[in-house]
Chain A
Amino acid sequence: MAQQISESELVLMKIIWKNGGAALYSLIMEELEKDKNEWKNNTVLTLLFRLGEKKYLKVRKIGRRNEYVAVITEAEYQTMQMHSFLDKVYGGNVKNLVSTLLRQDILSVDELKEIESFWRKENE
């Protein structure tokens, strides 16, 4: 299983995922500025380097510029986090998780019915 990444690293990953899984450094900086993030150049470079080391990103050179390509997709990351969350908090017991979702109204009964019928259709 891949390593954990910090919140700030996740922000960068999200930008890259949003851009179709690859982004130039300049684009990343632009997106950060849009969200009023005041991250210095070196800071971003350090974080990108770390993501590279953790095998979340691959660096590709386009001319003189660096393009950062996501090796782990957003879906894979979500799954990973889901597993780790499930293990950590629910001891691997999915039913308990769903019951919490329902009891706390995070998942409404209607939504659950929708999911059930969707699932049935998929399996037909």
Chain B
Amino acid sequence: MVELTSETPAIQNAPVSVNANAGEVMSIQTNKDIVDVDMHGPFTIYVCLFFIWSVLALVLFVRKITIYQSFIQYMKAGSTEVSDIKILNLLSDCEEKLNIKIRVELSYNPLIASPMIIGFFRPRIVLPAGGIEDKELSYIFLHELTHYKHRDMFYKWLIQIVVCAHWFNPFAYLLEKEVNKSCELSCDEKVISILGDKARREYGDMLLSFMKSDNLYKSSLASVTLTEGAEQLKERLGAIMNFKKKTKWWIFISLLLTAMLGCGFTVSGAYVANGNKQKNLDNATDTFSLYTNSAEIISFQKDEQTTTKEVAVRIKENDVKMQLNAAADGDSHRTLEVIDPTGEVVRTYTFDQDGFIAGDREWLYGNELIMVTDVLYPGTWYVRLSTNQTPAEKTTVSAKLIDPFVWGFASDTDIPSAEMEEEENADDSTLYARMYDYYRSYAQTKEDIQNGYIVNTGVSFNERAMPIVIGGEGTKFYVNHDNRIDLSITLKNLVDGTGHHYWAPLTDVSFVSFEVYDPEGKVAYSFYKEKEDIENEVDIDTELAVYPGEWQYKISFAYVTDGIEPSDMEIALRYQTIYEDDMQWLIDNKLHRND
């Protein structure tokens, strides 16, 4: 039997039970008591708050799920599967590029505004109705598939849960926006990194076109769409256009030379010139149209008084870069500027005959500056050359258009006509010497020589490129003392290119070749890799004994970089013991060959 005490409870005003069976009536709870109890019991307030919070959170979440389900049904009703083999193949290609093994379905739906991917475990890409070009389709597929790969759908729902749980917290909504934005931006980045520079503008245009469309339904809960609001879009477009600037840190110069000289030697470039004759002036107002051979656009005569000259250059194409060659004379500073159609100065470089003063990513050979712009768009651009004093010699700026895939600069690519041959630089050896040193600027070459380097090429591409240099007579260097030379070769992430969808080098075989000849003309060292071997990593560090005499090295190569992994090709020869006269020879014959 349970014993009940009749003692007063220890806590005053605590609720007590009324036990009818025991026949004892304890204290009766009055309203006052209850109120007092609430004041003193901390648990009930929190219980209430918890209740309110959880009800609201649950209601919001359930509402989201309902919206999602009705959207899915709405979508199903209006969708038709895509049967076009071409498009399905395109999707297949994109899946391969991203290494996606699961099968992704594809359908049309005229009711949606922009392409989206739905489904967590059985992804389906839905396209808006209307003709979409193949190129755009690849972007779309790559973008949506990347969403799948990154599992963005899960993250979005995770954020929804957080937002529901934090329905009272404004920062949760900001977080939601940020997460959505970063999902989109990271997909854009992935797509661009695969597609390359050329496609950026088109990708941005495509995003804009989807924003403008007036289809009916957009739901960000159920889908991961291509566009999530105009503000985000602006930021994305900005990010897309600035993408390349992020990779500024990489050295990504390539020199593509094309020249056909009679001495049985060819150097091919990744892009073939169309051999147009030069046409300088379009009309009286000094507007130039550029072609693929250099045309002189600005010239200061010796002792001419003006100190600034500006000319207009009409660009008609979407996918070109402009290369400017300018020389400095005497003691004057030169500033070369490129101005875009909106009037903004996009490039500027100041130099004198000793070298660089300000600017970046330009090349200085002797006292010649070579500047390559970023990809241009159609419009009237301007080139301005200013000097800080009257020119003591004739100074010219010449310009030409080059293929956007050229990351360095290109020498004139045209087949020399009879009249040009006469003007041709008679010093052929200068041209050859120049070819092998193209990865280093004047200042860098100077530093290399002071560090004992005979040759130190080095190029790393972060984007797709196709460097090619074939043949040539070799570059001489004179050894004055018995010595040893450190020889190093690095090849990384070079691609054969022939098996891939994009172009193969013009020679049809990829290769890298490096040879060193002793004064007797015999091969002292030889390195050669071709075809698929190119794709294997090479890391050679060896040394060569040299004796006094005239030695020669010859570098040739043709390969492709895929732009996905940064590539690396470095070939260097370096004296172990640096002798003054050896160094001086290099300075006189390599650094100052143009003097």
Partners in one complex: yes
B333 CB to closest chain A CB (Å) equals 59
Tell whether, in the assembled complex, residue B103 and residue A40 are in contact, meaning their CB atoms are under 8 Å apart.
Answer: no
- B92, CB-defined interface residue at 8 Å: yes
Instruction: Give the residues in chain A near B96, CB-CB below 8 Å.
Output: 40, 42
A46 within 8 A of B: yes
Bound-state Cα–Cα, A8 to B85, Å: 7
Minimal beta-carbon separation of A39 from chain B (angstroms):
6
Interchain CB contact under 8 A, A42 and B92: yes
Q: Is residue A50 within 8 Å, beta carbon to beta carbon, of the partner chain?
A: yes
Q: How far is the CA of A62 from the CA of B103 in the complex (A)?
A: 21
Given contacts A42-B95, A42-B103, A45-B103, contact A50 B81 (CB under 8 A): yes
Contact partners of B93 in chain A: CB under 8 A: 40
Total interface residues on A, CB under 8 Å, equals 15
Chain A residues whose CB sits within 8 angstroms of the CB of B81 once the complex forms: 6, 50
A76 within 8 A of partner (CB): no
Give the distance to chain B from A55, nearest Cβ to Cβ, in Å.
15
The one of A38, A45, A50 in contact with B89, judged by C-beta atoms closer than 8 angstroms, is: A38
**Nearest chain A CB to B417 CB, angstrom units:** 44
Q: Contact mask A1-40 → B, CB, 8 Å, 1/0?
A: 0000011110000000000000000000000000000111
Are the CB atoms of A46 and B88 closer together than 8 Å?
yes
Query: Is B543 an interface residue, CB under 8 A from the partner?
Result: no
Q: Is the CB of A9 within 8 A of B92?
A: no
The binding surface of chain B is classed by DSSP as: helix
- Contact among A39, A41, A45 for B85, CB-based, below 8 A: A39
Question: How close is B457's CB to chain A, nearest CB, in angstroms?
Answer: 40
Q: Mark B95-114, 1 if CB is under 8 A from A, else 0.
A: 11000000111100000000
Assembly CA distance A39 to B93 (angstroms): 11
Which residue of chain A is the closest to B94 with respect to CB atoms?
A: A42
**Contacting residues, chain A, for B92 (C-beta < 8 A):** 40-43
In contact, B91 and A6 (Cβ under 8 angstroms): no
Asked whether, in the complex, the Cβ of B103 is within 8 Å of the Cβ of A9, the reply is: no
* Residues in chain B near residue A6, CB distance under 8 A: 81, 83
A77 within 8 A of B: no
Residue on A with the closest CB to B93?
Answer: A40
Q: How far is the CB of B78 from chain A (nearest CB, A)?
A: 17
CB distance from A46 to the nearest CB of B (A): 6
CA distance A43 to B85 in the complex (A): 7
Within 8 A of B (CB), among A40-78: 40-43, 45-47, 49-50
| From A46, A47, A49, A50, residue with most partner B Cβ within 10 Å | A46
Interface-centre pick from A6, A40, A41 (highest chain B CB count, 10 A): A40
Instruction: List, in ascending order, chain A residues with CB within 8 A of B89's CB.
Output: 38-40, 43
Q: Which of B48-99 contact A (CB under 8 A)?
A: 81, 83, 85, 88-89, 91-93, 95-96
Residue of A nearest to B101 (CB): A42
Which of chain B's residues 164-204 have a Cβ closer than 8 Å to chain A? none
Q: In the complex, A113 Cα to B468 Cα: how many Å?
A: 75
Complex Cα spacing A6 to B106, Å: 14
Q: How far is the CA of A45 from the CA of B103 in the complex (A)?
A: 7
On chain A, the residues within 8 Å of B91 by CB distance are 42-43
- Sort A-B residue pairs by CB-CB distance and give the 3 closest, nearest first: A40-B92, A6-B83, A42-B92
| A-B contact sample (8 more), CB < 8 A, given A8-B88, A40-B89, A40-B92 | A39-B85, A39-B88, A39-B89, A40-B93, A42-B103, A43-B85, A43-B92, A46-B88
